Amino acid sequence: MERNGLVDRSRERKIGLWIGGVSLFFFVSFFLVPFYLPTDSVPELSGRANTFDYYSEDSWGNVQTSDSGEVGHNQSEYGLFAWSELDPYAAFIYGFGDLNCHNKAERSWEINGNQMPVCVRDVGIFLGLAIGGFLFSRRGLNRWTLRDSFLSMFPDNKMEGTYRNNRRTLALIVIAGIAIIPMGIDGFTQMLSSYESNPTMRLITGMPFGIFIGSFLASSFAARPEYFGRDPSNVLLPSGSRFSLAKDSEE
């Protein structure tokens, strides 16, 4: 029997491996694609997040003519770029980066003379996502709720006080804060002042955020009450704690 009261944790292992594997695929691809593309075929870019800026030569990123704005630059000075003209694999990776990242050259690494598909912070986030997924595959359990499934990644003997004093929500908030606040401070300081963080800082602050999101996402898929016959008393928790239905506690 596993630490949660179930016979095995093969499902949790698969969930963690899927999240870790997909994240690792993107992480490796961010380096591999610019490496194998012809040298200097991806110029310096400067786009917007959550939109396609470099799909074709007529797209927003390629028709910008000024460096004075907060977003974009005079792309003609650096060379036009259209990821739709790349091979399918490279087009998918650069299209993914175009949609999800701002693609600012000053915040991105360059490989083989080609700007990477995402910025350094996103590289750290995806590395963290992979780590978070793989950690859950090794340690994570289905413990009925998302919160308790997430906390299952920590040794039970370290969580006894947290469960004994019912501070599980507080523990989750503290862990989330440790993972998210450094990135938030670094990002908002750049936005609101003349401060510009360096690649190392972006990588370091992005990775903990990715680890938290990866493990949190795995926990959300793993937490399923039906595997306990929808009886909360069947869930094993640290320090001998037990769930109980609201109507039971009222009686």
Question: Mean pLDDT, 10 residues at a time, over the chain (251 residues)?
Answer: 95 98 98 98 95 96 80 92 98 98 94 97 98 98 97 97 96 97 90 84 96 98 95 94 65 42
Looking at residue 251, what is its pLDDT? 42
Q: What are phi and psi of 8, to 5 degrees?
A: -150, 175
Looking at residue 81, what is its pLDDT? 97
Whole-structure pTM value? 0.93
**Buried (b) or exposed (e) across 20-34, using 16+ Cβ within 10 A?**
beebbebbebbeebb
Torsion from C-alpha of 191, 193, 199, 202, nearest 10 degrees: -50
Q: What are phi and psi of 115, to 5 degrees?
A: -65, 140
Looking at residue 193, what is its pLDDT? 82
Looking at residue 247, what is its pLDDT? 54
Looking at residue 142, what is its pLDDT? 98
Query: Which tokens in the block code for residue 251?
Result: 């009686």
* Cβ atoms of residues 232 and 244 within 8 Å: yes
